[in-house]
Amino acid sequence: MNRYLCLLLFASTLATAGGQETAVASSAFWAWGNPEMEQPGTHTSASFAQAGPMERARILGAPNVIMAGNGLPDTDDAAAKDMAGIAQAQRIMWEISPDKDAATPFSYAQRIARVKRLAAADSRIEGVLLDDMSTVARSAGLKPEHIRAIREQLGSDNARIRIWGVVYTMSLRDAQLADYVRELDVINLWTWHARDLPALAENVAYCHAQWPDKPIVVGLYLHDYGDGRSIPNDLLSQQNETALKLMREKSVQGIVYLTIDNEPEAVSKTADWIRQQTGQPASERVLHWSNGESWNVSGDAWSEDSEGVVRPPDARNLHSRAFYTKEQFDDVTIEFEYNGSYRETGTGNAGLILRASGPNRFYYVHFPWGGQQLRAKHFWAGLAKLEGDGYHRNLAFNYVPGVPSETERWYRVRVEAKGPRIRVWVDGRAALDVTDTTYTKGLLGLAGYGWYAFRNIRVQGTAAPAAEWKPEPIPRHTFEVGLDSQVMPSGCIAPNGDVLLAQASKLVRSSDKGRTWGAVETLPASLGEVGDYGCSMFRDGDAVRVMVYRSQDAVKKPVPEIAVATSTDNGVSWSEPVESQVAPAWPAVPKSLVPYGP
């Protein structure tokens, strides 16, 4: 077992000096933490691997922590910092590795001295762990006498500090293993291949027969690392139930869970299973559409397919919103995946509604896609505030380095709202960090326009009953300016500040930043069909120009004709187009090419 793997551990209290054992309870559950893997913010089972040690314990509902991964730090200050991060833990264990720059290999003297100092100041520390003892450590030169030296260095006054060693079932029949196990206080038994889990009870019985005085803590993977796959649900259930039966029979004194990868389904199912055994409430919610009873939508109902993918109606949605009206949240963490589609127009927007007090009052964490953004692969994230008038006012709109903007792919999003601070991560990258006091609590929801979908919507936070939902129409601010929607117009801001839009032979202008628009003006026929493609309009210093483009097919020549018409009075009048010199050997446009898309 690689020492950097993240483990989730829970164990019934080991036999005390008087031989008494306590029943399995929440106080006996452990979370194996890896401080070096921690990423900022609150996490759910979807990003369990990036959660800090104490947060892993919270996700599981476990009060106890094993500090693993890099193990006990090299300095007292670093160890004290790690201890401060697990101040709420009830019981603590440390993984130890050999001292650096020691005169002899596998010397733990400095680590043990540090453990003793920590334990003297904090009675919660009760053990040390040797990871990969039966495999990697032995291959690297670990000897039984090295383990014996650890006990001698701990001394009789630290008998409460137990030595745990990781043993794999594939090592059990190794004749030399017995010499190592005899030096341990606890066997931590792991099954590398999930396909070997049916032999779990048999392997535990073998350990008891060989080492009847050694307590056993069983290790269970939440990912099948032996075969490099997610653990099948039937094997996940089988290993849990088998381990529970063994624990009730007193054959094992604990169960350890491990995942180096984010396995949301396995982690959440295991966390729910642990809570069922201990009577704890569920740690997080997974939102489903189901029959829509807990939702309220603007427009037609959404749907959820057999794979748990939630979608808006199958139409071009401009204002599609779905509110989860069963309960509300203040401080909350939501993790979800979304997929934006290139269907039809290649543009869209999708995201999360946060702290909604009504259909038109909420925060909106959103992610747009389309056009040049997709071609440049630039990913953008926004946090908008809606205050009842229908406008989305962005509090922040950021470019997110390291995340490509694409369609037909799933993005992983984590949103944390804690007090007035809202933080957002996309595929593990920090995207937004905004402070705003407008909304302090409210409903969650999904929204967007275009074609998009969501899945794996996980919510971590304390819920409260939601107020009665009062539907409202979404305010509309559409207006006509004399152009149609059949062809995209070309636009610019003239030198005098007028907003100009041109479509084919028509031009309209606004002198008040788009609030009102004048009558349609007719462009000279010499400018051609002005629009977003082909003959485009643009500002050039103190002038407005139109690039007049006529293709090879139109002019029956090997090169196109390109000319420029100029207006020096903000688009009121235009010069005759002035021809440009076009480079020779102009490439022909393939007849089957549609010049649109990323």
Question: Same structural domain for residues 163 and 210?
Answer: yes
Amino acid at 112: I
Least confident range of 115-129, 251-265, 530-544: 251-265
Residue 412, classified by CB atoms within 10 Å of its CB into exposed (0-12), middle (13-18) or buried (19+), is middle
Residues 434, 437, 441, 446: what is their CA dihedral angle, to the nearest 10 degrees?
A: -40
Whether 145 and 11 map to the same domain: the answer is yes
CATH number at residue 427: 2.60.120.560
How many C-beta atoms lie closer than 10 Å to residue 244's C-beta?
16
Q: What is the pLDDT of residue 524?
A: 97
Three-state SS at 290: coil
367 in helix, strand or coil?
Answer: strand
Residues 320 and 330: beta-carbon distance below 8 Å: no
CA 133 from chain centre, in angstroms, equals 33
Residue 473 lies in a domain: no
315 in the same domain as 214: no
506, 519 in Cβ contact below 8 A?
Answer: no
Q: How many domains does the chain have?
A: 3
Q: Is the dihedral of CA 96, 102, 105, 107 positive or negative?
A: negative
**Interstrand relation of 310-311 and 317-340 (parallel, antiparallel or unpaired):** unpaired
What is the spatial distance between Cα 272 and Cα 278, in angstroms, rounded to a whole number? 10
Residue 78, SS3 per DSSP: helix
Percent of the chain topping pLDDT 70: 94
Whether residue 396 sits in one domain with residue 250:
no
How long is the chain?
598
One domain, residues 343 and 226: no
- Does 470 fall in a domain? no
- What's the rounded mean pLDDT across residues 65-91? 93
Torsion sign across C-alpha atoms 169, 170, 175, 178: negative
Residue 67: inside a domain, yes or no?
A: yes
Least confident of 91-95, 103-107, 128-132, 477-481: 477-481
Given a contact cutoff of 8 angstroms between Cβ atoms, the answer to whether 362 and 353 are in contact is yes
State the angle between helix axes of 233-248 and 264-278 in degrees (0 to 180), rounded to the nearest 10: 30
Q: For position 33, which CATH number holds? A: 3.20.20.80
Between residues 278 and 398, which one has the greater pLDDT? 398
Give the residue with greater pLDDT, 505 vs 285. 505
| 257 and 219, same domain (yes or no) | yes
Q: How far apart are CA 486 and CA 491, in angstroms?
A: 16
Q: Is the pTM value of this prediction over 0.85?
A: no
- The residue from 283, 318, 347 where one domain ends is 283
Has residue 588 been placed in a domain?
A: no
Query: Of 381, 424, 429, which is closest to residue 403 (Cα–Cα)?
Result: 429
What pLDDT was estimated at residue 592? 58
Report the C-alpha gap between 573 and 570 in whole angstroms.
Answer: 8
484 lies in some domain: no
Residue-by-residue DSSP string for 136-183: IIHHHT--HHHHHHHHHHH-GGGTTSEEEEEEEGGGTT-TTHHHHHTT
φ/ψ of 419, rounded to 5, equals 60, -140
> Is 485 inside any structural domain?
no
- Is 511 in the same domain as 375? no
Q: Which residue has the tokens 């991060």?
A: 85
**Over 70: is that where the pLDDT of 390 sits?**
yes
| One domain, residues 31 and 172 | yes
Question: Within a domain: residue 97?
Answer: yes
Same domain, 243 and 333: no
Residues 6+ apart with CB under 8 A from 245: 201
Question: pLDDT tier at 24 (50, 70, 90 boundaries)?
Answer: low
pLDDT at 505 exceeding the cut of 70 = yes
User: How many C-beta atoms lie closer than 10 Å to residue 472's C-beta?
Assistant: 12
Whether pLDDT at 35 is above 90: yes
357 in any annotated domain: yes
Burial class, 201, CB count within 10 angstroms (exposed 0-12 / middle 13-18 / buried 19+): middle
- CB half-sphere exposure, 448, CA atoms < 13 A: 28
Ramachandran quadrant class, 474 (left: phi over 0; alpha: psi -120 to 50; beta: rest):
beta
Token pair of 170 as six digits: 């594939």
Q: Give the orientation angle of helix 200-210 with respect to helix 233-248, to 10 degrees.
A: 30
Confidence (pLDDT) at 462? 87
Position 502 pLDDT exceeds 80 = yes
Write out pLDDT tens, residues 132-144.
999 999 999 999 9
- The residue-averaged pLDDT of 343-355 equals 91
Question: What's the pLDDT score for residue 322?
Answer: 95
Confidence class of residue 21 from pLDDT cuts 50, 70 and 90?
A: very low
Mean pLDDT of 125-134: 95
Is residue 361 located within the same domain as residue 277? Answer: no
CA distance 200 to 51: 29
Domain residues for 398? Answer: 287-465
> Do the Cβ atoms of 371 and 350 come closer than 8 Å?
no
pLDDT of residue 5: 39
338 and 226 share one domain: no
Picking from 283, 308, 332, the residue at the C-terminal end of a domain is 283
Positive or negative, the CA dihedral 100, 103, 108, 111 is negative
Burial degree of 422 (CB within 10 A; 0-12, 13-18, 19+): buried
Residue 63 confidence (pLDDT): 83
3-class secondary-structure state, position 371: helix
Give CA–CA dist 91/125, Å, rounded.
6
Please check whether residues 291 and 269 belong to one and the same domain.
no
Instruction: Tell me what pLDDT residue 484 has.
Output: 86
- What mean pLDDT comes out for the span 48-76? 89
Whole-number percent of the chain with pLDDT over 90 = 68
pLDDT score, position 383: 99
